[in-house]
């Protein structure tokens, strides 16, 4: 279930929902409890704008909060549980549960909802148990949960593609020439603004840019992309986004990847944007190049 929140979202709202997702995503196996290590947060596009320039800082604060929670579980929580069990005559070994993060570090990414599914005030959190990106661990077991900023049963509505508590992720819809989606103002049917020419594992291809927003990457379960690349896993499932300003016609590119995006050899910077010239070479993770050209 999700509800319509009131008021402007704050960084603490994101931290709170990630920590709640962390607790609900625990996976217990014998005396170990696996903790989700990867968190992808989606916000309504209007809510995302105030966060755009401070995304790296907020992501860092979320990682700190995750560290503190994990340390508490493996410290104070275990000691209290052990003492309590000892007082009632039960084996302290029952409290000997270790909370384990599979990856070396937390992955926290914050994105705008390009599909327009989220209402203002809604926060959508995807989490995975995780592992280093190149291992592709858990590629078929992504979980999705939707949490509002403030729950209000009177205003609650069912998420269109989810069950009340946790939704089964929907396979990504990708195409070289995707069907039009969203508002008419976000695209011009039959008119190409620009072209992307590249060669992946399936050979040379040309992609026509006909929308004001184009998401590029390898795609995958719950990773909706317009341009799906068949290439090495160094390229993220959602690697970069190209945006067109409908008023000026100017294009920019945003890097949301793990291993980087460059324009004519100059790195864009993670969660940063750069203007696109009329012609350019877009390098994704240093493993595949896309030739960009305005129509």
Residue 204 is part of a domain; what is its CATH number?
2.60.200.20
191-228 confidence digits (pLDDT tens): 899 999 999 988 999 999 999 999 999 987 667 789 99
Whether residue 235 has pLDDT greater than 60: yes
Give the whole-angstrom CA distance, residue 240 versus residue 276. 13
CATH number at residue 37: 3.30.2320.60
Q: Does one domain contain both 120 and 257?
A: no
Say if residue 190 is in the same domain as residue 142.
no
Helix ranges, the chain (H)? 11-24, 45-48, 55-72, 78-87
Per-residue pLDDT at 250 exceeds 90: yes
142 with 221: CB under 8 angstroms? yes
Q: Are strands 213-217 and 227-228 parallel, antiparallel or unpaired?
A: parallel
Please check whether residues 108 and 239 belong to one and the same domain: no
pLDDT given at position 95: 52
Q: What is the pLDDT of residues 124-170, one digit of tens each?
A: 888 888 754 443 333 333 444 455 555 444 443 343 343 333 333 33
pLDDT at 148: 54
Give this prediction's pTM. 0.45
Q: 74-131 pLDDT, tens per residue?
A: 885 555 555 554 555 544 444 567 899 988 889 898 988 877 788 888 898 888 887 5
Instruction: Give the burial class of 247: count Cβ atoms within 10 A of its Cβ; 0-12 exposed, 13-18 middle, 19 or more buried.
Output: exposed
Query: Does residue 2 lie in a domain region?
Result: no
Nearest to 228 by CA among 174, 287, 290, 188: 174
Question: pLDDT band at 248, cuts 50/70/90?
Answer: very high
SS3 for 88-103 is CCCCHHHHCCEEEECC
Query: Does residue 65 lie within any of the structural domains?
Result: yes
User: Are 207 and 79 contained in the same domain?
Assistant: no
Number of separate domains in the chain: 2
243 & 271 share domain: yes
């Amino acid at each position: 279930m999700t509800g319509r929140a009131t008021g402007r979202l704050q960084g603490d709202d994101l931290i709170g929902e990630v920590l709640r997702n962390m607790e609900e995503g625990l996976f217990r196996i014998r005396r170990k409890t696996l903790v989700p290590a990867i968190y992808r947060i989606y916000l309504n596009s209007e809510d995302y704008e105030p966060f755009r320039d401070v995304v790296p800082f907020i992501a860092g604060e979320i990682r700190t909060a995750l560290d503190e929670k994990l340390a508490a579980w493996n410290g104070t929580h275990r000691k209290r549980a052990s003492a309590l069990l000892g007082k009632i005559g039960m084996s302290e070994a029952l409290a000997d549960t270790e909370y384990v993060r599979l990856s070396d570090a937390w992955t926290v990414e914050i994105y705008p909802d390009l599909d327009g599914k989220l209402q203002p005030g809604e926060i959508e959190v995807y989490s995975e148990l995780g592992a280093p990106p190149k291992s592709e661990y858990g590629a078929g077991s992504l979980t999705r949960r939707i949490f509002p900023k403030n729950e209000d049963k009177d205003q609650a509505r069912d998420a269109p593609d989810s069950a009340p508590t946790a939704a089964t992720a929907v396979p990504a819809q990708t195409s070289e020439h995707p069907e039009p989606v969203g508002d008419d103002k976000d695209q011009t049917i039959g008119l190409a603004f620009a072209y992307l020419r590249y060669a992946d594992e399936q050979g040379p291809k040309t992609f026509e840019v006909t929308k004001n927003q184009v998401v590029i990457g390898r795609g995958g379960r719950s990773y909706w992309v317009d341009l799906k690349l068949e290439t090495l896993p160094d390229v993220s499932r959602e690697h970069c986004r190209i945006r067109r300003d409908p008023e000026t016609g100017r294009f920019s590119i945003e890097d949301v990847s793990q291993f980087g995006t460059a324009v004519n050899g100059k790195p864009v910077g993670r969660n940063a944007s750069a203007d696109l010239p009329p012609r350019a070479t877009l390098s994704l993770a240093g493993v595949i190049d896309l030739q960009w050209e305005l129509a």
